[in-house]
Amino acid sequence: MKNKFLFLLSIVTISAMASHTLQAAVPPVPYPSKANAEVPPSLLDPRKPPGKIEWSRFMDLSRQEAEALWNDQSHKGTRLSDWDWKWRLGWVKLCASKNPGQPGFCNTVLEDGLDDKALVVRAESASALGQSKDGTMDPVASRKLLAMLEDPRNRRGKTPVMVQKRALYSLLKIGHAEFARKAAAIADKDPALKAYWSKITAVSGG
């Protein structure tokens, strides 16, 4: 009985040693980092909304990866408006997070986003454009932001929504004097916008 036990023990020991040797010989599979995460396959169909993992990976794209993805889809004829609204919001947020040193395509994303069908995309675009053009006195961006103040989609009845306030703040940040005066004239017609404009100009010293 004792010999049988020792025999079985020797087999177990040899098996354990062999298993340890095999594990040591095979290198561990590296855990995918944010830096080398691949663009999710579903991004090949921009019309489908992102899942949680896809959104996370998308927001972790580097400047070069984001630009490559945008260019790939652009070459396929995909415009910002062709993406699902959640992806459109993602593009705006991604461009905002790359400031300063935004990729060139972000100008297209942010300016097109000002006229987006989704209210939340328009609002985020208004804020991001002001951030990216801060102090530049850019007339093109200012003109587009001014148009948002008179867009009926940016009001609920007679009440302005967050888009108009964000557009006003971005116009102030960009600093184009002529468009700032026009923004003040528009804001003066609405008590809520007039109060907001007075507040932000007082804070900025304008």
Q: Where are the domains of the chain?
A: 43-115, 133-206
| CA 85/CA 48 separation, integer angstroms | 9
| CA 38/CA 21 separation, integer angstroms | 33
Q: Does residue 181 come out as left (phi exceeding 0), alpha (psi in the -120 to 50 range) or beta?
A: alpha
| CA 154/CA 156 separation, integer angstroms | 7
Residue 21's pLDDT is 41
Residue 157's pLDDT is 84
> Confidence band (pLDDT; 50, 70, 90) for 101?
low
Q: What percent of the chain has pLDDT over 90?
A: 59
- Interval 86-98: pLDDT, tens: 999 999 999 988 7
| CA 119/CA 96 separation, integer angstroms | 17
- Interval 14-45: pLDDT, tens: 344 444 443 444 333 332 344 444 555 445 68
Residue 126's pLDDT is 97
How many beta carbons lie within 10 A of that of residue 194, not counting itself? 14
SS3 156: strand
